[in-house]
Structure 1
Amino acid sequence: MENALNIAENAALVVVDVQKGFEEEGYWGARNNPEADDNIAALIDAWQATGRPVVFVRHDSPKPESPLRTGYVGNEFKEYVEQRRGKGGGGELFVSKSVNSAFYGTPDLDAWLRGAGISQIVVAGIQTNMCAETTARMGGNLGYEVVFAYDATYTFDLVGPFGWRRSAEEIGRASAVSLHGGGFARVVLTGEVLGGVG
């Protein structure tokens, strides 16, 4: 059995791309983890209640057809995230990015974390296998202890090379296996994270 999860007093919750544009099912297709939004909200609440820092990341897509493009309503954070911004006492950072990794955004997330003496991050948000996974992988590469709250993320069905089609559930699980099995992050469920916040 793995050791109980200990969440550091100053661990940062990195909330990736929880934006209205991801509600456009016609664009993205079917998704997994229907409870993800509730779990993301619970994590933000727990972080703010215990005075831990929260990083809100927004994807500002340069693609004119993207539901996440700047100037479009889909670029905005979902209501439950917007309502929670500015509520915690543990410090807060807003990062804007146009690529998959929150570490390639403005302001510099790595510099902010290091400046605050933070060595552990918990990643949640959208999409599991895209921006959430890329942020987690890069965090691991940069030497952070990364916890990935799997059921506080979700993704969509996808078509890849050779006509390969995979469901959101398959893709999410593959992402979790790569992160956890590859040593980039410890993949856990939201309940485990909340239990470690104490």
Structure 2
Amino acid sequence: MTNALILVDVQRGFADPSWGRRNNPGAEANIARLLASWRGPLVLVRHDSTEPGSPLRPGQDGNRFTPELDGAVPDLVFAKSVNSAFHGEVDLDAWLRGRGVTGIVLAGVQTNMCVETTARVGGNLGYRVRVVLDATFTFDLEDLSADELARATATNLRGGGFAEVVTTDDVV
């Protein structure tokens, strides 16, 4: 089985205070650990926001990848403007299948948005999906804390049969 590591939206703009309180302050260190140990296809996905005030808009410093990705040598880099990495500028499914990839390992931002949506679509497409939960983070949303949202994502992905939820140690 060939696995690809897909890092979703690991961008500077998520440090903007407008997002609110986040969880998992160790996510970036775990992303760096994944990168340091990974031997296989590496995909970096960037969110190009179409919202006028977003720090993730193209051309803004917040659209750039975080320093943890400096020095990474990805096999594919592309942008998307929706939640799923399978609906971006590149046909990710075709790219993965063309390289014999049957499993994907996901990490990045936000746990309950783009990471979860990418995992769900990947599961629907038949990939063995593993979400490295401790290498993701999210923000408080309405009446749920970021930690509650991350737990709900883990439950949804496992319970729905979309993905395995793993730790960085499991992958490394």
In the superposition, the TM-score normalised over structure 2's length comes to 0.97
Say whether the 8 Å CA contact 1:44–1:84 is kept in structure 2.
no
- Once residues 104 and 32 of structure 1 are traced to their aligned partners in structure 2, the CA distance between those partners, rounded to angstroms, is 26
- Once residues 102 and 150 of structure 2 are traced to their aligned partners in structure 1, the CA distance between those partners, rounded to angstroms, is 26
- Once residues 152 and 5 of structure 2 are traced to their aligned partners in structure 1, the CA distance between those partners, rounded to angstroms, is 23
Superposed displacement of residue 80, structure 1: 1.8
Question: Which residue is 1:175 aligned to?
Answer: 153
Question: Which residue is 1:4 aligned to?
Answer: none
- Once residues 40 and 85 of structure 1 are traced to their aligned partners in structure 2, the CA distance between those partners, rounded to angstroms, is 11
Give 3-state SS (helix, strand or coil) of 2:51's partner: coil
- Once residues 117 and 71 of structure 2 are traced to their aligned partners in structure 1, the CA distance between those partners, rounded to angstroms, is 25
AA of the residue aligned to 2:118? T
- Once residues 166 and 159 of structure 2 are traced to their aligned partners in structure 1, the CA distance between those partners, rounded to angstroms, is 12
Superposed displacement of residue 85, structure 1: 2.6
AA of the residue aligned to 1:36? A
Superposed displacement of residue 84, structure 1: 2.5
**Residues 9-28 of structure 1 mapped to structure 2, 5 A cutoff:** 10-25=2-17, 27-28=18-19
The match for 1:75 among 55, 59, 63 is: 63
- Which stretches in structure 1 are left out of the alignment for 5+ residues? 1-7, 160-164
Say whether the 8 Å CA contact 2:31–2:68 is kept in structure 1.
no
**Structure of larger gyration radius:** 1
The match for 1:112 among 79, 90, 95 is: 95
**Residues 161-172 of structure 1 mapped to structure 2, 5 A cutoff:** 165-172=143-150
Superposed displacement of residue 183, structure 1: 0.5
Superposed displacement of residue 108, structure 1: 1.1
Superposed displacement of residue 67, structure 1: 1.1
Residue 17 (structure 2) pairs with residue 29 (structure 1): no
Say whether the 8 Å CA contact 1:128–1:154 is kept in structure 2.
yes
Deviations 1:53-82 (A, max 9, x none): 10000000011111101111100001121x
Question: Which residue is 1:84 aligned to?
Answer: 71
Residue 47 (structure 2) pairs with residue 55 (structure 1): no
In the superposition, the TM-score normalised over structure 1's length comes to 0.85
Say whether the 8 Å CA contact 2:35–2:72 is kept in structure 1.
no
AA of the residue aligned to 1:45? A
**What's the % identity of the aligned pairs?**
57
Residue 54 (structure 2) pairs with residue 66 (structure 1): yes
- Once residues 120 and 31 of structure 2 are traced to their aligned partners in structure 1, the CA distance between those partners, rounded to angstroms, is 20
AA of the residue aligned to 1:38? A
AA of the residue aligned to 1:34? P
CA RMSD of aligned residues (A): 1.0
Superposed displacement of residue 128, structure 1: 0.1
AA of the residue aligned to 2:140? D
Superposed displacement of residue 107, structure 1: 1.6
AA of the residue aligned to 1:66? S
- Report the count of equivalent residues: 172
Say whether the 8 Å CA contact 1:40–1:125 is kept in structure 2.
yes
Give 3-state SS (helix, strand or coil) of 1:122's partner: strand
- Once residues 72 and 26 of structure 2 are traced to their aligned partners in structure 1, the CA distance between those partners, rounded to angstroms, is 21
